[in-house]
Amino acid sequence: MVILMGNIQEENKNIEHSMKEVAYNLLKNKEVDLIIGYAKGTIPLSSSPSFIINQKDVDNLIWDNLCHVNLARYVVPPITKIIDNENIPLKVGIVSKGCVGRSLIHLAKENQVNLENIKIIGISCNGIINRKRIEKELGEKEIIELSVMNSEIIAKGVDFVKTFFFDDYLNESCKKCKIKAPPMVSSQSNVIVGGSVESSSGEDDFSDLTEHESKTPEEKWQTIVELLSPCTRCYACREACPMCYCNLCFVDQNKPIWFGKTTDMSDIVSFHLVRAMHVAGRCVACGSCSSACPMGIDLTFITRKLEKIVKQRFDFTSGLSFDILPPMMTQKMNDKEDFMIGEH
């Protein structure tokens, strides 16, 4: 739960207010059967995805800087209701920050969601707090209350008060995020209610990656090992990811068992490597994987690289448009070949 004061607070209040209004009307006018949004969490630094079908419950919806879950995750596979033995898909309104909107658009491109049954309740997100980082930095002190005032995050405990600079303690992917609200997609404009932005990815220098990229392979490997060693192979990252909708994940497959499920380092690395491969050109940088990880592994470190690769190689940013094919779905004669070996 976040108590907000000052500018960001104002912002969120307005967002929350208009979002509730939209949600209320959608339900009232029977435009949707169901609203998926965020509700207040039972403990500090949390929020809880909430499913609402009654107008009166709309008031439980909240918006703050801890609403980290990517709600698109809940509509794959589509939510349905059996009406006389017919599986009828429900019309769903989804409270969508930029990345959620992008997920939905991309998932539609991959035939996973049918936008006819979706209303994107667009809201302009001002960043998700990196709770894992704050928890870690507080060490073993329990936070009882977290609030955001002006440009600071204030964490209160039984016997302490600590403040963090808001912009520094956002998820890495949020820091660089240029698409705060769902991108406006002309062909599907009717889908978006509430806020939206012109679908443009904006400029990104990926400066946060340069340090790692300048390292030697040995150092890079060390960093990665350090990053991933806590991994318990619980696959929370996968389950939280809207793009990981495979019926059977590669790591669960047998005949042949390509990659081990053990916590042996090369197994862990291979899992995250292949998973990265699989979300390349699809990842919308929502950071769900990171915030879901019980061990607090910051996977946005990897997803940021994915963003960079597809942006720089194929000038693609996922979830912005229906008309552009994702990079892995198409090919060009004149793609860059700088990575290939030649005689000279």
Site for another protein in 159-178 (CB under 8 A): none
Q: Which of 197, 279 has the CB closer to another protein?
A: 279
CB contact at 8 A, 290 and 133: no
Among the residue ranges 45-53, 116-124, 166-174, 184-192, the one whose residues contact another protein (CB under 8 A): 45-53
3 binds another protein (CB under 8 A): no
Taking the C-alpha atoms of residue 244 and residue 259, their distance in angstroms, rounded to an integer, is 17
3-state SS, 132-177, equals HHHHHHCCCCCEEEEEEECCEEEEEECCCEEEEEHHHHECHHHHCC
Q: Which of 203, 339 has the CB closer to another protein?
A: 339
Of these, 22, 34, 115, 184, which contacts another protein (CB under 8 A)? 34
Number of residues that bind another protein (CB under 8 A): 115
Burial letters 65-93, b for 16+ CB under 10 A, else e: bbbbbbbbbbbbebbeeeeeeeeebebbb
Of these, 314, 318, 319, 320, which contacts another protein (CB under 8 A)? 314
Q: How many CB atoms lie within 10 A of CB 304?
A: 23
Scan residues 208-227 and list those touching another protein (CB under 8 A). 212-213, 215, 217-224, 226
Structure tokens belonging to residue 142: 């329990």
CA 159 to chain centre: 34
Among the residue ranges 97-105, 173-181, 186-194, 229-237, the one whose residues contact another protein (CB under 8 A): 229-237
Of these, 10, 59, 198, 264, which contacts another protein (CB under 8 A)? 264
335 binds another protein (CB under 8 A): yes
Structure tokens belonging to residue 321: 């448009």
Scan residues 179-208 and list those touching another protein (CB under 8 A). none
Which residues, in sequence order, are CB contacts of 7 under 8 Å at separation 6+? 150, 151
CB contact at 8 A, 64 and 4: yes
Q: Which of 189, 339 has the CB closer to another protein?
A: 339
Q: Which of 5, 225 has the CB closer to another protein?
A: 225
341 binds another protein (CB under 8 A): yes
Tell me how far, at minimum, the Cβ of 7 lies from another protein, in Å: 27
Of these, 267, 300, 322, 324, which contacts another protein (CB under 8 A)? 267
Binding mask 66-85 for another protein (x = CB under 8 A): --xx---xx--x-xxxx---
Residues in a beta bridge with 49:
38
DSSP state of 148: E
Burial letters 314-328, b for 16+ CB under 10 A, else e: bebbbbbbbebebbe
260 binds another protein (CB under 8 A): yes
